[in-house]
């Protein structure tokens, strides 16, 4: 059995976090010492491992409490939901990033972001030796092998929705 201090140290968490987990029923230590100190079993630590894993996936504590009691397929569904939410957030943040870049519209600002612009990208493809035809083939290939990846890529370099539609349209024909 492990004391709360040992568990806290092992997971690099504060004791108050563990006390909180106990209070909300997320992780209740299975034992008590003679002096009534909390004692965690190996099984408790296994549970803690999963809590830490789900926390690092960004799941809220309430969701984790539920997940720990669930079957595997429900877990998958919860994680897929989280993944979809992350994708939405990324898209939303990209939009904000593009707006800021447009407002600032100067080299200095672009240097502070890691966003690839369309021009940078075209320059890089050209550097790889692709001419207009080569780039066209590349889009066609991209659309064929990974339509979602193509969409995501075009969004990531700040091309607007209408132009993306066009590019994907001629990539399919």
Partner 1 sequence: MSENGMSKEKWVAMFRDIGLDEATMMKWHGLFEVRHPDEHQAFLEWLQIPAAEIQAIRAH
Q: Which residues of 28-66 are buried (b: 16+ CB within 10 A; e: fewer)?
A: ebeeeeeeeebbbeeebeebbeebeebeeeebeeeebbe
Residue 45 or 140: the one with the smaller Cβ distance to partner 1 is 140
Q: Closest distance between partner 1 and the C-beta of residue 87, in Å? A: 5
Q: Closest distance between partner 1 and the C-beta of residue 59, in Å? A: 17
Pairing of strands 31-32, 2-3: unpaired
Q: Closest distance between partner 1 and the C-beta of residue 146, in Å? A: 5
Rounded to whole angstroms, the Cα distance separating 37 from 49 reads 22
Residue ranges that bind partner 1, judged by CB under 8 A: 83-84, 87, 111, 113-116, 120, 123-124, 127-130, 134, 137-138, 141-142, 145-149, 152-153, 156
Residue 24 or 83: the one with the smaller Cβ distance to partner 1 is 83
Alpha carbons within 13 A on the beta-carbon side of 44: 23
Residue 20 or 138: the one with the smaller Cβ distance to partner 1 is 138
């Amino acid at each position: 059995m492990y004391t709360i201090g040992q568990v806290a140290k092992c997971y690099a968490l504060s004791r108050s976090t563990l006390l909180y987990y106990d209070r909300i029923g997320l992780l209740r230590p299975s034992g008590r010492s003679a002096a009534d100190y909390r004692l965690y079993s190996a099984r408790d630590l296994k549970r803690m491992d999963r809590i830490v894993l789900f926390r690092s996936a960004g799941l809220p504590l309430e969701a984790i409490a539920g997940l720990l009691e669930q079957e595997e397929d429900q877990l998958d569904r919860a994680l897929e939901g989280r993944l979809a939410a992350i994708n939405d957030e990324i898209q939303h943040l990209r939009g904000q990033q593009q707006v800021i870049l447009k407002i600032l519209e100067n080299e200095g600002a672009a240097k502070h972001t890691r966003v690839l612009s369309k021009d940078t990208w075209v320059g890089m493809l050209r550097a790889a030796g692709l001419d207009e035809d080569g780039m066209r083939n590349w889009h066609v290939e991209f659309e064929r092998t990974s339509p979602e990846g193509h969409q995501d890529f075009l969004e990531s370099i700040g091309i607007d929705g209408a132009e993306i539609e066009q590019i994907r349209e001629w990539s399919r024909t």
